[in-house]
Chains A and B, each alone.
Chain A
Amino acid sequence: MSLQRSDVEKIAHLARLAVSEDELDAVTADLSNILHLVAQMELADTAGVEPMAHPLHMVQRLREDAVSETDQREKFQAIAPLTEAGLYLVPRVIE
Chain B
Amino acid sequence: MHNKSISELAHGLRTGEFTSVELTRVHLDRIASHNPTLNCLVSVCEEGALQEAELADRRLRAGDVGQLAGIPIVHKDIFCTDGVKTSCGSRMLDNFIAPYDAHVVSRLKQAGVVMLGKANMDEFAMGSSNENSFYGPVHNPWQAGAVPGGSSGGSAAAVAARLCVAATGTDTGGSIRQPAAFCGITGLKPTYGRVSRYGMVAFASSLDQGGPMARSAADAAALLQVMAGFDGRDSTSAEQPVPDYSATLNDDLKGLRIGVPKEYLGEGLEAAIADSIQAALGEFVRQGAELVDISLPNTHLGVPTYYVVAPAECSSNLSRFDGVRYGYRCSEPRDLEDLYKRSRGEGFGAEVKRRIMIGTYALSAGYYDAYYLKAQKIRHLISDDFRAAFEQVDVIMGPTAPSTAFGIGEKSADPVTMYLSDIYTIAVNLAGLPGMSVPVRPVNGMPVGLQLIGNYFQEARLLNVAHQLQQATNWHSATPAGFE
Contacts and interface: CB of A to CB of B under 8 A. Distances in A.
Interface residues of A, number: 52
Interface centre among A20, A36, A37, A92 (most CB of B within 10 A): A37
Contacts of B414: 33
Which secondary structure dominates where chain B touches chain A? helix
A90 B324 contact: yes
B409 interface: no
B305 interface: yes
Interface stretch (B62-70, B93-101, B120-128): B93-101
B411 to A, nearest CB: 13
Interface in B338-372: 338-342, 344-346, 348, 353-354, 356-358, 360-362, 364, 371
A92 B431 CA distance: 47
B45 interface: no
Q: Interface range on chain B: under 10, 10 to 19, 20 to 34, or 35 or more? A: 35 or more
B373 A18 contact: no
Main secondary structure of the interface of A (DSSP, over half): loop
B341 A17 contact: yes
A95 B373 CA distance: 43
Contacts of A61: 232, 235, 239
A31 B362 CA distance: 11
A16 B358 contact: no
A40 B304 contact: yes
A56 B357 contact: no
Contact of A80 (B326, B344, B354, B381): B326
A55 to B, nearest CB: 2
Interface of A: 7-8, 11-12, 14-20, 27, 30-31, 33-44, 46, 49-56, 58, 60-61, 63, 72, 75-76, 78-82, 88, 90-93
Given A50-B380, A51-B380, A31 B361 contact: yes
B376 A53 contact: yes
A60 B346 CA distance: 36
Contacts of A52: 376-377, 379-380, 383
Contacts of A92: 335
Contacts of A18: 341-342, 344-346
Contact of B304 (A15, A16, A37, A50): A37
Contacts of B336: 90-91, 93
Given A34-B415, A41-B305, A51 B373 contact: yes
B271 interface: no
B96 to A, nearest CB: 6
Contacts of A44: 298, 301, 374, 377-378, 381
Given A38-B308, A49-B377, A93-B335, 11 more contacts: A16-B322, A31-B361, A40-B300, A42-B374, A44-B374, A55-B206, A56-B193, A76-B326, A81-B329, A82-B329, A91-B338
B377 A16 contact: no
Interface in B318-337: 319, 322-329, 333-337
Contact of A27 (B96, B334, B357, B433): B357
